[in-house]
Amino acid sequence: MRLAVSALTITMACTASYATNAAMWAEPAGGDLFSNDGLNPTLIALDGGVNTIRGTTGFTAIVDRDYFYFTLSAGQQLDSIFLRPVTEVGSQVSFIGVQSGNQVTVNPTGGSPAGLLGYALYGLNQVDTNILDDIGNNILHPGTTGFTGPLGPGTYAFWVQDTAFGTFNYNYEFNVSGDPIPTPLPGAYLAMLGGMGVLGLLRRRRAGRQPR
């Protein structure tokens, strides 16, 4: 069952550490943090540095697919995605895919990856390795758009699933570098601020004049 956004901020294990510049998004025990609908994925925020994303997927009554998205500001990039310990897979591999934008519109049972930037089928032998290059490799995964190197500024929606029977943990480390570039103020707003400064200066000058 999908939790309300207001409840997520309270019940999820989401922390921000200014000392380590890290954030964590984790499904609560027995709960479901991430949306099961690709057209309505869960919005998350990534800090610069290490970001941990933990959840569960698998098949019981239905396939428990997880969808989430985030935006990288100008000046930021996603450098790597590491699989970390406690990651589990069913039937030898699990799946992670990414699409540009704030939705995953690809049919999860359609059989075609067209529309995805990329995806990876990962196994336990890849724990503690970076899988971002595998995700972007459209030679290995034909039909995807593909990309090389880090993902730059933009909005990205991720899709995680394992269709084997059972419940399987995943533990990803999303590493973000760069600092957001402040958005320049509109020219009209700058002109207004400049006018306010001139008015303030005139007022101070008038206040300083003594009557003759």
Q: How far apart are CA 54 and CA 64, in angstroms?
A: 14
In this prediction the pTM is 0.77
**68/44 Cα distance (integer angstroms):** 7
- Contact 94/131 with Cβ under 8 angstroms? no
For residue 133, give the 3-state DSSP assignment: helix
Which residue has better confidence, 195 or 16? 195
Q: Are 160 and 168 in contact (CB under 8 A)?
A: no
pLDDT over 90, % of the chain:
68
> Residue 162: pLDDT band by 50, 70, 90 thresholds?
very high
d(CA 126, CA 152): 24
Which of 120, 39, 108, 139 lies closest to 82 in space, CA to CA?
A: 120
Pairing, β 77-83 against β 118-122 = unpaired
What pLDDT, on a 0 to 100 scale, did the predictor assign at position 31? 76
pLDDT at 22 over 80: no
